[in-house]
Structure 1
Amino acid sequence: MRATDPGSAGQGQKARGMTTRRRVLTIMAGAALAGRAAGAAEWQGRVMGAEARLLIRAGRASDQVMSDLHARIARIEATFSLHAPSELSRLNRQGHVEASGLLLDALHLARRMHRATGGAFDPGVQPLWQALAQGTVPARVLPMAGLQRRGRHLRLAPGQALTLNGLAQGLATDLVAQDLAHLGEVLVDMGETCALGGDFRLDLEDPAAGSLGQVTLRAGRAIATTSPGALLFASGASHVIGPHGQPPLWSSVTVEAPTAALADAASTAFALMPAPAIRRAALGLGLGPVRLVDPRGDLITL
């Protein structure tokens, strides 16, 4: 790979690939203890169809903490899943729902990202995604502006359906991180990654370009990667698609942010945006650095 970022030497990124519905999770803890002896306790599971992982430097979590973790994950699935009964699947099926605070918070962030990215981030792509998955004629996308809210009552426009896959794993990571902050130094990976109480070195890779080296995720920061080519429809189209059917422009996008939900949503939208627009959006949202890998394998850091 040819790195175009002059500051990237020794900070590349490598990972074991893990496939979800729309990305390869290219962030895993390799030398996760940032130079310390590797004695952390570890938990692995699944959240929103993705592999999830906790590394706890101080040792194992109590049974009560793990029970609370499983309850938190169940609530997240019951809110956002598109493949099991949930608030969101019920909203899409019947066109209206009395929303929980968690769903309303997610939609608030989605609207913020929609505005900041010039519409590139739009949960209204769900009908288009479904059509491509089924090999049928792509449906017309109704942007999330068509969603009506009165108090907690949400109502979709006729023919509208939403997906929050572009931020749900990040939001799950943030919620779990809040629950585990008292444990000290913890790496929370619920599909996106957050560092608590200490720094962690992470390995990253691009599915096409391969190893990009390592980055250090500082305490209190989060990181997310979207790799559009990691999972394709039978037609060859990427699972990462824009509201007008526009294809992704980048082989992978990695975003650091104050929260995992912001990093998750931004990496999804930025995959569809040219570099100047990404730079403007990242500045306005307080994100960065943003690492882009173009189709030739060049690494660009904004």
Structure 2
Amino acid sequence: MLTRRRFLTIIAAAATLGPARAAPPAWEWRGRALGADARILLVDAEANAARHLFHRIEKELALIERHFSLFAKSSLTRLNRTGRLAHPAPDVLALFTLAGRVHAATGGAFDPTVQPLWRALAEGRDPGPARALVGWRNVQVTREEIRLTRPGMALTFNGIAQGFATDRVAELIRAAGFSNVLIDIGEIAGLGHRSDGAPWSAAIALADGAEVARTGLSGMALAVSSPGGTRIGPGGRLGHIIDPDGASARWRLAAVTAPSAALADGLSTAFCLMDREAIAAALKRFPGARLAALV
């Protein structure tokens, strides 16, 4: 879908980008990616070039869906069903590798193996049996095979895959020679500047609209995680970001900026569950990553 309009505002998770000041029109694409609304704003491009680029982006997002969707047929659902994924694609290996690094840096707070526990809590079942299935140490990753070593295990990349998609789209756009772009695929990345020449920036807000911080986006990615953004379980009593040990989230919102949207995504998810000392230690492991807000 290709439209031409003035950039007004863009919303992702709990982040709201301020309106451009008298900016000329730019090319905009809207669609869906990994179950979320997606939007890309392209500055300084001819119509045909924009249309061709957006077509390539749609193909790239479809490929990522085939790898990491938790609902459609994908590499991830096949792994969860069979416990084994032979000859994983390079993108799959790359995301598993990054997930392992974030897991280690956050002391296990980021753990994609929480999926059985998440389902048990969401469905109001006894979480005890599911909690026994949680543990990244039980995921074996090689170039030849990814294997879940305990029957009944299942993974979710909902805390990192949208950031990975954002990174891949950003790489594609850079390779195509475009330098002034805003990408919102659940997480946000800004390249270059807006139509009016001002740098991309974001106002980070809670679900009720209360602003808690502002941050620049040019050359950076922003991820915002909020446990209360989605409620699960009987009566919606639980936030959707859950501790692998079953503890409650410590924070209402965590926002991280980093050169990589996938890294920012994984860290912001984990930081909702961590104390400040542990967060500071994790950030030291990733130069360029910064805590933008913690409430």
1:75 and 2:76 matched = no
Cα gap change, 1:151/1:213 in structure 2, threshold over 3 Å: closer, same or farther? Answer: closer
Residue of structure 1 equivalent to 2:170 = 177
Q: Which residue identity lines up with residue 262 of structure 2 in the other structure? A: A
Q: CA deviation at 1:97?
A: 1.1
C-alpha contact (below 8 Å) 2:257/2:290 kept by paired residues: yes
1:55 and 2:54 matched = no
Residue of structure 2 equivalent to 1:187 = 182
Q: Identity of paired residues, percent?
A: 39
Secondary structure of residue in 2 paired with 1:160: coil
Secondary structure of residue in 2 paired with 1:51: strand
Residue of structure 1 equivalent to 2:269 = 268
Gaps of 5+ in 2: 1-8, 194-198
Tell me the matched-pair count: 271
Residue of structure 1 equivalent to 2:260 = 259
Q: CA deviation at 1:209?
A: 6.7
Residue of structure 2 equivalent to 1:146 = 138
Q: CA deviation at 1:68?
A: 0.9
Q: Distance in 1 between matches of 2:192 and 2:142?
A: 40
Residue of structure 2 equivalent to 1:156 = 148
Q: CA deviation at 1:210?
A: 1.6
Cα gap change, 1:289/1:149 in structure 2, threshold over 3 Å: closer, same or farther? Answer: closer
Secondary structure of residue in 2 paired with 1:62: helix
Residue of structure 2 equivalent to 1:299 = none
Q: Distance in 1 between matches of 2:11 and 2:210?
A: 10
Q: Distance in 1 between matches of 2:275 and 2:241?
A: 15
Q: CA deviation at 1:224?
A: 0.5
Q: CA deviation at 1:213?
A: 5.5
Q: Which residue identity lines up with residue 197 of structure 1 in the other structure? A: G
Cα gap change, 1:284/1:151 in structure 2, threshold over 3 Å: closer, same or farther? Answer: closer
Q: Distance in 2 between matches of 1:46 and 1:193?
A: 14
Residue of structure 2 equivalent to 1:3 = none
Residue of structure 1 equivalent to 2:93 = 104
Q: CA deviation at 1:155?
A: 1.2
C-alpha contact (below 8 Å) 1:208/1:251 kept by paired residues: no
Secondary structure of residue in 2 paired with 1:44: strand
Q: CA deviation at 1:208?
A: 4.7
TM-score (norm 1): 0.84
Q: Which residue identity lines up with residue 72 of structure 2 in the other structure? A: A
Q: CA deviation at 1:165?
A: 1.1
- Output aligned runs, 1:1-302, within 5 Å: 25-31=13-19, 33=20, 35=21, 37-59=23-45, 60=47, 61-98=49-86, 99-138=88-127, 139-140=130-131, 141-157=133-149, 158-181=151-174, 182-198=177-193, 199-208=199-208, 210-212=210-212, 214-218=214-218, 220-235=219-234, 236-294=237-295
Q: Distance in 2 between matches of 1:201 and 1:215?
A: 6
Cα gap change, 1:229/1:254 in structure 2, threshold over 3 Å: closer, same or farther? Answer: same
More deviation in 87-96 or 195-204? 195-204
Higher RCO (C-alpha under 8 Å, 6+ residues apart): 1
Cα gap change, 1:217/1:274 in structure 2, threshold over 3 Å: closer, same or farther? Answer: same
4+ residue runs over 4 A deviation: 15-18
Q: Distance in 2 between matches of 1:287 and 1:36?
A: 32
Cα gap change, 1:234/1:133 in structure 2, threshold over 3 Å: closer, same or farther? Answer: closer
C-alpha contact (below 8 Å) 1:250/1:292 kept by paired residues: no
C-alpha contact (below 8 Å) 1:148/1:154 kept by paired residues: yes
Secondary structure of residue in 2 paired with 1:105: helix
Q: Once the two structures are superposed, what CA deviation does each residue of 1:42-89 show, in whole Å capped at 9, x if it has no partner?
A: 111111111111111214443321221111010010000111100000
Q: Which residue identity lines up with residue 192 of structure 1 in the other structure? A: E
Cα gap change, 1:17/1:229 in structure 2, threshold over 3 Å: closer, same or farther? Answer: farther
Q: CA deviation at 1:247?
A: 1.6
Q: Distance in 2 between matches of 1:208 and 1:274?
A: 24
Q: Distance in 1 between matches of 2:104 and 2:251?
A: 21
Gaps of 5+ in 1: 1-14, 19-24, 295-302
Q: Distance in 1 between matches of 2:167 and 2:74?
A: 20
